[in-house]
Structure 1
Amino acid sequence: MTSVQGTHLDLPTPDGVADAYLAHPDDGRPHPGVLLYMDVFGLRPSLEEAAGRLAGHGYTVLVPNVMYRAGRAPLVDLPGFIDPAERPEIIERLLPLAQALTPDLAMRDAGAYLDWLAASPLVADGPIGAAGYCMGGVLAVRTAAAHSDRIGAAAAFHAGRLVTEAEDSPHRLVGRSRAELYFGHADQDRSMPADQIAVLERTLEAAGVPYRSELYEGAQHGYTQSDTAAYNAEADQRHWRSLLELFERRL
């Protein structure tokens, strides 16, 4: 692991300015870029720590507040340990903000984030990686499809509703991607049950997309998030191994 530098910054987008966190090796050299998408709880210290950990393996990692239209992060007063069962009002306030981020808005923003990475002297030429958690996993998949010329690898961890009836359901878009895709499903996730995982995998196979789809047994939705009640240390370590292997192969 190399030493890492972290910085808060503001990114211009077509619709305003997104606050973000950037982590990169502290050597002044360009490294492969990664767009790291947040979960619904947003940009906060635990995600900054994750970005720093990834940067320590040799990546320049950008974590935008994708719900910037509603304000700067944090959008709600978050406790140090998030237990939605004890604080249901947190989800009640954040969910409408997440739902307001339509696929069109999110992919317009993604273009701005990728443009920023491409212009940064801290980012090496070549494919960009995308990864995300919960809603961020969906955004990573959509970004790989919408910006297929830029994304070389994309990973989604405990992403829900990857299979819906909508015409622009994420699973219907995977054939547009040129990236290798990785899915780490929680087996205790009502937002991505076994039948939907099967549909996703059949779609990936039919599209000829390089992918891995794995079930994390005993894991709940949110298993990677160390500051939440859903955290599962064993599953989190597995997620790190899978993510680093993917990026090492493709970036």
Structure 2
Amino acid sequence: MPDITDNVTTADGNCPVHLFTPDGPGPWPGVVMYPDAGGARDTFRQMASKLAGFGYAVLLPDVYYRHGSWAPFDMRTAFADPGERNRIMSMMGSLTPDMIAGDADTFLDYLSARPEVAGQRFGVCGYCMGGRISVRLAGRLPDRVAAAASFHGGGLVTDSPDSPHLLADRMTATVYVGGAENDASFTPDDAEQLDKALTAAGVQHRIEWYQAAHGFAVPDNPPYDSASDERHWTALTQVFDAALAS
């Protein structure tokens, strides 16, 4: 797939991005793909390219751009190494909801100005940390987000006043959540609370469970599961095809 390397100017600096598009003239519906806690890296460039192959213009941002040229994580060992675990948790924790929403607004402005992109409403999808970001953006940017998909996303339901599930009454997007089994970051109780909040708000949504561990859809994660990965691509494209159709 064509891969355009660019920078998007945000309120806090320049964010490196990759824009993947299908072969051909386009234009195509626009999507922002949010990575897990390991940030944008080769695995996610491959995933964004694969999603583009289904007929989307896919923007993959470096969500950690405020940290400058940070050293990539080896996800096979990052959480087992105390130093790397502290670094990854610190970088993940540095992203506030306001930062994320402000950046996302700028990313969507960028997509809307690209000749390869059709429409003014977009899809967002994410994994782990990125799953939480995607659901939150459905509530923070309801006029711009038409579909939000989370895979093994954590922290979708918390006691915090900025918990994503508390934004349900602002959402106009279709929401899909694919949860991992035995995942402390998204439990059956969390799923029940999220379902109730989305249902009460009239949000079109689906919450499904995958018989795999947290990290199942990201190939460089140790718990990666190929069968669940293939299932996730089917679910993701079904949601986007329905919500982002021209």
Same fold judged by TM-score > 0.5? yes
Q: Give the corresponding residue for 1:222.
A: 215
Contact 2:41–2:72 (CA under 8 A) maintained in structure 1: no
How many matched pairs?
244
Mapped to 2, the partners of 1:83 and 1:229 lie a distance apart of 9
Does the CA contact (< 8 Å) of 1:76 and 1:90 recur in 2? no
Amino acid at match of 2:26: R
One-letter amino acid matched to 2:98: D
Matched, 1:141 2:135: yes
Could you say what the CA RMSD is over the residues aligned between the two structures, in angstroms?
Answer: 1.4
Structure 2 counterpart SS, 1:125: strand
Structure 1 counterpart of 2:161, from 162, 167, 182: 167
Letter of the 1:67 partner, please give it. Answer: Y
Does structure 1 retain, via aligned residues, the 8 Å contact 2:32–2:124? yes
Per the alignment, residue 9 of structure 2 pairs with 12
User: If the length of structure 1 is used for normalisation, what is the TM-score?
Assistant: 0.93
CA distance in 2, matches of 1:46, 1:27: 24
* 1:48 equivalent in structure 2: 45
Distance 1:233-1:18 versus aligned 2 partners, 3 A rule: same
The answer for the alignment partner of 2:190 in structure 1 is 196
SS state at 2:181 partner: strand
Q: Which residue of 2 aligns with 1:125?
A: 119
What stretches of structure 1 of length at least 5 have no aligned partner?
none
Q: Cα 1:77–1:119, aligned 2, differ >3 Å: closer, same or farther? A: closer
CA deviation profile, 1:164-207 (whole Å, cap 9, x unmatched): 11111100002211110000000121111111111111111111
In structure 2, how many angstroms separate the alpha carbons of the residues matched to 1:164 and 1:249?
Answer: 29
Deviation of the 1:85 alpha carbon: 5.5
User: Counterpart in 2 of 1:242?
Assistant: 235
Tell me the residue number matched to 2:24: 27
* Aligned-pair identity (%): 40
Q: Which residue, out of 137, 145, 155, partners 1:151? A: 145
In 1, the alpha carbon distance for the partners of 2:72 and 2:108 equals: 29
Query: How far, CA to CA, are the matches of 2:101 and 2:120 in structure 1?
Result: 20
Question: Is the contact between residue 112 and residue 120 of structure 2 (CA under 8 Å) also seen in structure 1?
Answer: no
The alignment status of 1:78 with 2:101, answered yes or no, reads: no
Per-residue CA shift, 1:127-169, capped at 9, x if unaligned?
2111000110111111111111111111001111111111111
Structure 1 segments (4+ residues) deviating >2 Å: 75-79, 83-91
Q: Who is 1:100 aligned against?
A: 94
Contact kept in structure 2, 1:141 and 1:174, CA below 8 Å: no
Q: Specify whether residues 169 and 101 from structure 1 end up closer, same or farther in structure 2 by C-alpha distance, changes over 3 A only.
A: same
DSSP 3-state at the match of 1:32? strand
In structure 2, what is the Cα distance between the partners aligned to 1:65 and 1:77? 11
SS of 2:180's partner is strand
Instruction: Report the 3-state secondary structure (helix = DSSP H, G, I; strand = E; otherwise coil) of the residue aligned with 2:158.
Output: coil
- Give the superposition deviation at 1:91: 2.5
2 CA distance for matches of 1:235 and 1:159? 15
Q: What does the per-residue CA deviation read over 1:214-245, in whole Å, with 9 as the maximum and x for residues that have no partner?
A: 0112x111111101201011111111000010
Give the alignment's TM-score, normalised by structure 2: 0.95
CA 115–221 in structure 1, closer or farther in 2 if over 3 Å, else same: same
